[in-house]
Amino acid sequence: MLRLPYTFDADQRYPVDLHMHSTASDGALTPTELVTLCAERGLTHMSLTDHDTMDGIEEAGRAAEQAGLCLIPGCELSTRWQGVNIHVVALMPGGLQGPMVEGLIQQREARIQRAAVIAERLEKVGLSNALEKARFHAGSDRPLGRPDFARALVAEGVVPDWASAFKRYLGSGKKGDVKAHWPEISEVVGWIVESGGVAVIAHPLRYGLTRRKRGLLMDTFQTAGGRSG
């Protein structure tokens, strides 16, 4: 894994984006294509934060070096807090190291197990060989997610479009909405901090929490070592 130089002057303002996905998880662009787009848009600093993996960092690092961009290695980790799925962005300026190594192995296994259950359920509603078809549409050997099964459902004519796939089969409360056994948020923040990284809650307003609940979440997060501002 590349360890890339991380330079940041707190007195300067930078055009940055520290939360992006590539085809290493559910993004539309390869790591190289994403870096190229960032360079074209004038960014100076970026972080690739694919879901529960840092597999795209090495490719992105090579592209960033050629483009003259500062790439901060990272990922977006799935966690649980009081029964709610919460995503935590891990910014890892030192690269993949420490407890994060085993943590990402654990996350990968959880995704593989969840995909198998999703496939089993979708086969019962008409998508035969669901796992193989989702893998084909993913185009790589990364762990499969619901978007990959949505592509398969559309391609096989089970549903007319992506929105219908989620509305009928993959959205919240539907047969394909399988809850993985994600680790508690405090444990995940511990992995990040002990590995020399910075933990930030991703899109905090998307979880349907009341203002009071958000406050409790942030208290837990900060106590564990996460950054809130």
CATH number reported for the structural domain that contains residue 46 in this entry: 3.20.20.140
Encoded tokens for 39: 């360079």
Which regions in the chain score pLDDT beneath 70? 1-14, 229
Do the domain assignments include residue 9? no
Instruction: Give DSSP secondary structure letters for the chain.
Output: ---------TTS---EEEEE--TTTT-SS-HHHHHHHHHHTT-SEEEE--BT--TTHHHHHHHHHHHT-EEEEEEEEEEEETTEEEEEEEE-TT-S-THHHHHHHHHHHHHHHHHHHHHHHHHTTT-TTHHHHHHHHHTSSSPP-HHHHHHHHHHTTSSSSHHHHIIIIISTTSTT-PPP-PPBHHHHHHHHHHTT-EEEESSGGGS---HHHHHHHHHHHHHHT-B--
Encoded tokens for 3: 């360890």
- Structure confidence at residue 18 (pLDDT): 94
Do the domain assignments include residue 4? no
Do the domain assignments include residue 175? yes
- Structure confidence at residue 29 (pLDDT): 94
Report d(CA 46, CA 34) in Å as an integer: 10
CA 151 to chain centre: 18
- Structure confidence at residue 62 (pLDDT): 97
- Structure confidence at residue 9 (pLDDT): 59
138 lies in which domain range?
Answer: 16-224
Q: Is the pTM of this model over 0.75?
A: yes
Report d(CA 120, CA 20) in Å as an integer: 30
Do the domain assignments include residue 128? yes
- Structure confidence at residue 187 (pLDDT): 98
Do the domain assignments include residue 57? yes
Do the domain assignments include residue 177? yes
Number of folded domains in the chain? 1
> Residue 215: exposed, middle, or buried by beta-carbon count in 10 A (0-12, 13-18, 19+)?
exposed
Do the domain assignments include residue 48? yes
Phi, psi of 174 (to 5 degrees): -90, 170
- Structure confidence at residue 2 (pLDDT): 39
Do the domain assignments include residue 168? yes
Nearest to 138 by CA among 152, 119, 155, 126: 152
